[in-house]
């Protein structure tokens, strides 16, 4: 669900990932953690799907990026549940969400993301900055809605 919004597609990708794990388990060399090896298979499966759907735009230029929005005040994590935060991330456009997940959640570098997605490092950084900006606006809007309801 980190990479696609549709639950059925996420289930299909999960199944595809498990099939790859079971068919390729003999290729695991023991270098690195087994968990990391499995994680890489699932991330790659999701990225292959997104690439096939042309979900990752490669024509983003750093010069097109507007100045970053205002920083959120207060500790957002104290005010939002994990589900609310994941919902905000899920609303990001596919390409932005993909780069955001790979960088902020999975911990890949922009160079690694660029290599995986076949994009430039500048595009990866730009999409991450745009994703972060949109996420900040989405979270701010959600917080304002909750404040208006008296939470």
Digit-coded pLDDT (tens) for 89-112: 888 888 899 999 889 888 889 999
Assign 131 a pLDDT band (cuts: 50, 70, 90).
very high
pLDDT, average across residues 29-41 = 86
- The band of 5, judged by pLDDT with boundaries at 50, 70 and 90, is confident
pLDDT given at position 67:
42
Q: Measure the N-to-C terminal CA separation of the chain; round to a whole number of Å.
A: 28
Helix, strand, coil distribution of the chain in percent, nearest 5: 70, 0, 30
What is the C-alpha R_g of the chain? 17
Quick check: helix, strand or coil at residue 67? coil
Residue 80 has a pLDDT of 67
Is the Cβ–Cβ distance between 80 and 135 less than 8 Å?
no
DSSP H helical ranges for 25-120: 34-52, 76-79, 82-90, 94-100, 110-117
Between 45 and 64, whose confidence is greater? Answer: 45
- As a whole number, mean pLDDT of residues 43-48 equals 84
Is 92 within 8 Å of 105 (Cβ atoms)?
A: no
Instruction: For the full predicted model, state whether its pTM sits above 0.85.
Output: no
């Amino acid at each position: 669900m980190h990479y696609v919004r549709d639950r059925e597609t996420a289930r299909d990708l999960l199944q595809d990932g498990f099939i790859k794990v079971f068919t390729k388990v003999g290729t695991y060399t023991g270098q690195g953690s087994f968990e990391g090896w499995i994680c890489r298979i699932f991330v790659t499966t999701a990225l292959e799907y997104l690439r096939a759907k042309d979900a990752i735009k490669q024509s983003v230029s750093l010069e097109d990026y507007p100045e970053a929005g205002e920083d959120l005040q207060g500790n957002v994590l104290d005010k939002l549940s994990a589900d609310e935060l994941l919902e905000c991330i899920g609303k990001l456009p596919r390409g932005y969400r993909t780069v955001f997940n790979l960088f902020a959640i999975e911990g890949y570098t922009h160079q690694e993301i660029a290599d995986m997605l076949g994009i430039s490092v500048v595009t990866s950084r730009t999409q991450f900055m745009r994703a972060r900006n949109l996420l900040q606006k989405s979270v701010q809007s959600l917080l304002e809605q909750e404040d208006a309801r008296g939470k």
